[in-house]
Every structure is written in structure tokens, then in C-alpha cells.
């Protein structure tokens, strides 16, 4: 799986939007972009995923660049409960359909939310 690059940390104020970037310049055509987040002392939690088109769900939005070499996770109104480490992960749909289920996790972005 291709690798991703994320800033080590970011800071936001409560009630403001947050844009978390992820670079994946070596992404292949069959790589899905997945985002998970991990709150303190908890296991990771799925946030959103997409392939080419922008995606929205109740938690967040995912904006994918036209060349797919980068993406941005958007939290529309940050709350204190959004303080977590956010991981951007690529998953090859063809490898995953077999038995290659190893998600490769980087260090993620630690998001701090100020009241």
C-alpha cells in the first residue's frame, strides 16, 4: 500500500471548521482513502472513506484532490470531543479483496481543540 504524510499536530478552536490534510503522492488507481480517529485511551474509530469523489457523512466530509495525490478531512464544527489523533490510510481494494488486510498506519495528526 502507498504511504501517506500528515502533519504531526494541529490546533483548532471550538465551533470552528477544521481541515486535516493528507498527502499520498504515490496513490494507485485502486487505493481507497480511509480516515480513522483515536480518542485518548480508546481504540481507533472509523470516520470516512472515499475513492475519487468527495464524500459526506454525519461525522465529517472528505475532499479528494482531482489528481488524488492529496485529500482533506473536514470537521465542520469542531467540538472538544473531536480532540483525537486522526489517521489517513490507503487501502488497495484488490489486495483487500484477497487476504492482504494489513492496514499500514502512520503517526497521524494529533488534533487539539481549544474551548
The single residue among 23, 30, 49, 63 that binds other proteins, judged by CB under 8 A, is 49
Stretch (H or E) spanning 86: strand 84-92
CA 115, chain centre distance (Å): 23
Q: What is the pattern of x (binds other proteins, CB under 8 A) and - over residues 57-96?
A: ------------------------------x---------
Is there binding between residue 107 and other proteins (CB under 8 A)? Answer: yes
3-class SS of residue 105: coil
Q: How far is the CB of 57 from other proteins (least distance, A)?
A: 11
Q: Which is nearer to other proteins, 27 or 88 (CB)?
A: 88
Could you tell me which stretch among 13-21, 23-31, 37-45, 67-75 binds other proteins (CB under 8 A)? 37-45
CB 4 within 8 A of CB 88: yes
Query: How is residue 10 written as a grid cell?
Result: 494541529
Helix, strand and coil in the chain, % to nearest 5: 5, 45, 45
Binding residues for other proteins, per CB under 8 A?
34, 36, 41-46, 49, 87, 97, 99-108
Amino acid at each position: 500500500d502507498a504511504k501517506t504524510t500528515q502533519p504531526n499536530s494541529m490546533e483548532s478552536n471550538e465551533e470552528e471548521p477544521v481541515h486535516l490534510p493528507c498527502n499520498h503522492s504515490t496513490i494507485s488507481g485502486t487505493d481507497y482513502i480511509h480516515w480513522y480517529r483515536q480518542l485518548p485511551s480508546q481504540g481507533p474509530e472509523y470516520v470516512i472513506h472515499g475513492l475519487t469523489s468527495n464524500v459526506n457523512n454525519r461525522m465529517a466530509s472528505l475532499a479528494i484532490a482531482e489528481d488524488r495525490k492529496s485529500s482533506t478531512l473536514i470537521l465542520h464544527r469542531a467540538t472538544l470531543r473531536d480532540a483525537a489523533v486522526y489517521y489517513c490510510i490507503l487501502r488497495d481494494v484488490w489486495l483487500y479483496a484477497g487476504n492482504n488486510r494489513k492496514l499500514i498506519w502512520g503517526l497521524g495528526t494529533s488534533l487539539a481543540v481549544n474551548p
